[in-house]
Chains A and B, each alone.
Chain A
Amino acid sequence: MSGPILEARDLVKRYGSVEALRGVSFSVLEGEVFGLLGPNGAGKTTTVEILEGLRGADGGTARVCGLDPQRDSVALKHEIGGALQSTALPDKLRVGEALRLFAGFYRRHRNPGELLKRFGLEGKRHAFYGQLSGGQKQRLALAMALVNNPRILFFDEPTAGLDPQARREIYDIIEELRGEKKTIVYTTHYIEEAERLCDRVAVVDQGKVIALGTPRELKERSGNSTRIEVRLAKPAEDEALRGLEGVVDCRLFDGSHVLHSRRPPQTIVALVKYLEAQGNELASLEIAAPSLEDAFIELTGRRLRD
């Protein structure tokens, strides 16, 4: 990996009185898959659209492939590829035609036939766009993002709205691109995607980057503690649960107590004893290794899916 291919510094964007970005900064190295993880409305798409040159920022600076996305937008478009949210192609455009059409727009481009083969769309070459399934449309969108052999790819929630099977197919494609050392900026609100696909992740919340690091580094921030999620028959005091042996943190989400423990077996024994003493009972209990979700909870006090 060499120096940063993308740098965002203090990006600010306002929509009327709403501040969508409140000083977003990060840089992306050549050859890495960089994730922007955050809930809907966190500012991920706005960030990506500023970097692609589709929107102007109200403050801050950005450089992508050494270019200013606003000033050098035409030159930049030859260098980047992307799959944006809520885009489409004309229903009556054939798959092969779409790739050839877009290949024709660029100074350099890849062979459309090879891309179709690689993305498993060879059999759909003559199919109309309107006849494709959601997963096939998204595979075509990714193939089209690669048509100019871009230096950097932007994938904005590419798995949104797809069924699990189609989602796995997209993961395979991203992992393959990762293996080829393609630089990718990947936005998602799925923790498992960020964990599985990204080399580094910026956690975005309310228009700010609140944490940045490899998935492992972020998880370590949550103290390498095990998550114990319990539902109780009767309500219990958070404070009392926090005092149990080994517990470092306890929060209540939708009626579930989420405890973080450094010594899970001791915590569970202490919990059972405490509940017995209170005349309370366990309705359910789940134990999980530390995840990015825990890091997110720790940083924001909220769950990502809230």
Chain B
Amino acid sequence: MRNFLTLTGVRMRLALRNRLFIFFSLVMPLFFFFLYAGFFGKGNPRTVAYLLGPVIALTVMGSFWGLSTALVTFREQGILRRFRLAPVTSGDLLASSIAANYLLTLPTVATELVLARLVYHVQDFGNLLSVWVLVTVGTTSFASLGLVVASVANTMQETQIICQIIWFALIGLSGATLPFPSLPHVVQRIGVFLPATYLVLALQKAFLYHAAAWELLMEITALLAWAVLTFFMAAKLFRWEPEEKVTGNAKAWAAATILPFVLLGVWENHYGGVRSQSQSAKDSLRSGTRPGTSP
């Protein structure tokens, strides 16, 4: 536990000294915030509240990019090798990077909420406790995804390519860029297989409809199950040395992390209400009423 806490502190300090981290974790999210709230939302408080869903989802999802490149750099430069000689476990290293990332994401999310209030006069933030739970579960799961990517990529170049593919799939098909109901029908059918879709929708339900955590049980459980599974895989596939190349078997294990959302996506495509719920959320901006949240 002591190693975990010490490493968390050091990782936070290192991140704050890294210009790239500051850019991707603070400047970029705020750029998205002003783009969505000011340009797309035209500063309308209720629309801004609706758009806080995708904006905060983008902030939360960004975790995986930085964490994967940091871990690969640590491995390639022989930094992990140095830690390996000390009584430090892979669990200490992985958990501390997730915790550090989480603690550094919270101020960015808080800044976005404060700016929404001060600049765009959003009065009603819905259920902030649910927002906090979603940010926590979301950051943990996407950070773990980054650690899995780092474990299956052999070089920095490979990591960047995998991250880009995942990133564009996550933001393009989930409602994090275009509102989910505005996406073509076939894209929506694919989108329900992505964790990002559930994060965006759950955040919108929390902001717009004051949805309590228990009302978001499906989304929270799915993200949580995914977080546990991806963290477990990251620990299982962890490599200290750059010479230890990843095996085909390990890649198959890594691919298994998509299982919770494959099941959820299949279920959603048959019986689910994600598409209708996101449509209602969007429609409610016009009517200003709170529609039912049941599928």
Contact = CB atoms under 8 A, between A and B. Distances in A.
Interface of A: 52, 54, 74, 77-78, 80, 82, 84, 86-90, 92-93, 97, 101-102, 104-106, 144
B78 interface: yes
B118 interface: no
Interface in B116-130: none
Contacts, number: 52
Contacts of A93: 10, 14
Contacts of A78: 87
Contacts of A54: 84-85
Interface of B: 2-3, 6-7, 10, 13-14, 17-18, 74, 77-79, 81-82, 84-88
Nearest to B18: A92
A84 B82 contact: yes
B3 A77 contact: no
Contacts of B3: 104-105
A90 B74 contact: yes
B86 A105 contact: yes
29 contacts: A52-B85, A54-B84, A54-B85, A74-B87, A77-B85, A77-B86, A78-B87, A82-B85, A84-B78, A84-B85, A86-B81, A87-B78, A87-B81, A87-B82, A88-B77, A88-B82, A90-B14, A90-B79, A97-B10, A97-B13, A101-B6, A101-B7, A102-B86, A104-B2, A105-B3, A105-B86, A105-B87, A105-B88, A144-B82
Nearest to B17: A92
Nearest to B80: A87
A84 B86 CA distance: 12
A54 B85 CA distance: 7
A93 B14 CA distance: 7
A160 to B, nearest CB: 13
Contacts of A106: 86-87
A299 B110 CA distance: 70
List of 10 A-B pairs having minimum Cβ-Cβ separation, nearest first: A87-B82, A92-B17, A87-B78, A77-B87, A105-B86, A88-B77, A86-B78, A87-B81, A104-B6, A88-B78
A88 B82 CA distance: 7
Contacts of B79: 87-90
A257 to B, nearest CB: 41
Contacts of B88: 105
Contacts of B87: 74, 77-78, 105-106
Contacts of A87: 78-79, 81-82, 85
A280 B78 CA distance: 54
A89 B7 CA distance: 13
A106 B3 CA distance: 9
A83 to B, nearest CB: 9
Contacts of B10: 93, 97, 101
A54 B241 CA distance: 10
Contacts of A89: 79, 82
A244 to B, nearest CB: 50
